[in-house]
Structure formats: structure tokens, C-alpha cells
Amino acid sequence: MSMLHPYHSSVCARYFYLPASKERNAEVIEVLNSDSDVVEVPMREEDVELRAFYERPLSEDELIRYRGTQTWKLFYSWEELQQDHIKLNLPEHVLQQLLQFKSLYELQEEMAA
């Protein structure tokens, strides 16, 4: 269920999934000002190439805050990603579309207190 859209410009945010390994937990990587639907993630053993599973245009706030600079954000839980999107005041429908991938891309969810 890929939700890629034709935002092939520098004003796009793309999301990539890096599965867990013996040494680390799985993570979602959000790349702001992404210019490709593929990223190379440097790893100790061997670099990994990932394909985006979701993309969206940047918000006005993100355009101002990140000013065309490619920025990577790493999320180790869906809750963490959700809180970041709420903090940045991104549209609710974007967050709901992203959360549809929760069952496909498992992350280490935080334990309830």
C-alpha cells in the first residue's frame, strides 16, 4: 500500500522504513527537502538502500524552518512521529495517511506508563 505522489521537487518530505537488526531497533526516517524516492543509509557493515513508502509536500512552516536544506528525522515509535507532526501542526489527514502504515512497518512502541 504505497502512497507515493509526484512531488519530485525539493519541497517534499519522504518517509523510509529501516527494519530492525540484531544491533538496532527499526525506525522510520523522514527526509525533508528530499529530491529522490531512494536514500542510502550508512551502516557499519554495509550501506542500505531504502525506497520511500510515503511522500507529501512540505508545510509552510517546514519551508521556512528548513529552507531547502535536506534534513533527516529518525523515529523509533509511531507515537514519536505522531507527536512531531502534531507539534508542527501538519494536517490531520496527512497524519492519518501515515498511520495506515503502522501495521506494515513495525516499530518498538513505547510501553504505557
* Enclosing H/E stretch for 81: helix 78-87
Residue 112 counted as domain residue: no
pLDDT in tens, 22-79: 888 999 999 999 999 999 998 888 889 999 999 999 988 898 999 889 999 999 999 9
**Residue 1 within a domain:** no
User: In this structure, is residue 7 part of a structural domain?
Assistant: no
**Residue 59 domain-assigned?**
yes
The tally of domains found in the chain comes to 1
Query: Which residues form the domain of 34?
Result: 12-99
What is the mean predicted confidence (pLDDT) over 13-20? Answer: 96
Task: Using the CB atoms, write b or e for 66-82: b if 16+ within 10 Å.
Answer: eeeeeeeeebbbbebbe
Tell me the mean pLDDT in the region 84-111: 87
Is residue 10 over pLDDT 60?
no
Q: Is the pLDDT score of 83 beyond 80?
A: yes
In a domain, 108, yes or no: no
pTM: 0.85
- 75 within some domain: yes
Residue 110 lies in a domain: no
